A and B are shown apart, each in its own frame.
Chain A
Amino acid sequence: MLNLRPCTLTWLVLVSLTLMALAIGQAGLAGWGILALLLVSTFVKTWLVAEYFMGLRRVALRWRLIMAAYLVLVLSGIALAWWLAARAAA
């Protein structure tokens, strides 16, 4: 059984999700499912960096909440913009 440090495990997850995004890009995949996958994986990646690399899990709760709110706002804003584009094209 591998006994990896949390930061090493985090790095492996980040690398895997990045390679997945590259594969999606190279294959030219699009659509709502792909967009959701990319947005969720981006949320997971940024949250892992904030929690395990920046050490946000060790600081006051308000700083974590601000980060969570920031990521949710930005990523849901991107989803909204994609939805508006699809609606305009329909």
Chain B
Amino acid sequence: MIWIFIYAELLVFGILFLAYAFARSRNVVLFNASQLELNRTAGAVNTLVLITSSYFVVRAVAAIRADRAEACARWLLAAVGLGGVFVVVKLSEFAAKSAAGIGLSTNTFYMFYWSMTFFHFMHVLLGMVILLAVWWKARQGAYSASEHTGVETGASYWHMVDLVWIILFPLVYVMR
């Protein structure tokens, strides 16, 4: 069931990515100039943060498979903490753009930039809520080596959020 949900989400992001790419093909100069105004370092830092957070979630799943519920909870909390770092970096990026008077209606590039990154941002927030719920249940001893579907489901969602950003970062911040 989780795979159907994940693929539905990926389909939506895939359409957005292609819409961005084909919109760019008609406005190359505008897209390239606007892209230069983005903070690539912040984008790369957030990629590293999400990748590492995903890695922590993998370790959480491995821990619960070994019946180590406390270790599972610790890895999950670390993953959520990195999710928080992503949120802070992204909010600072959003704030810098807003302060510069750059919004959704500035131009076509920024319409896509705001739409895609904010949509993804909302998924990060939802993913953090899911991971926190899984963390709470793990702390309560609700999962074991034989029953940990909730951990795997939450993990899959978080990896999907990571996977989407792995495409979004080079597409919007780097490719020109």
- Point out residues on A near B: beta carbons under 8 Å: 7-8, 10-11, 14-15, 18-19, 21-22, 24-26, 28, 30, 35, 38, 41-42, 45-46, 49-50, 52-55, 59, 63, 66, 70, 73-75, 77-78, 80-82, 84-85, 88-89
Contacts and interface: CB of A to CB of B under 8 A. Distances in A.
B170 interface: yes
Given A15-B48, A49-B162, A82 B21 contact: yes
Which residue, of A26, A38, A53, A88, has the highest number of chain B Cβ atoms within 10 A?
A53
Nearest to A30: B176
Contacts of A38: 170, 174-175
Contact residues of B: prevailing secondary structure: helix
A74 B62 contact: no
A82 B28 CA distance: 9
Contacts of B25: 81-82, 84-85, 88
7 contacts: A10-B55, A25-B174, A42-B166, A42-B171, A59-B3, A74-B17, A82-B21
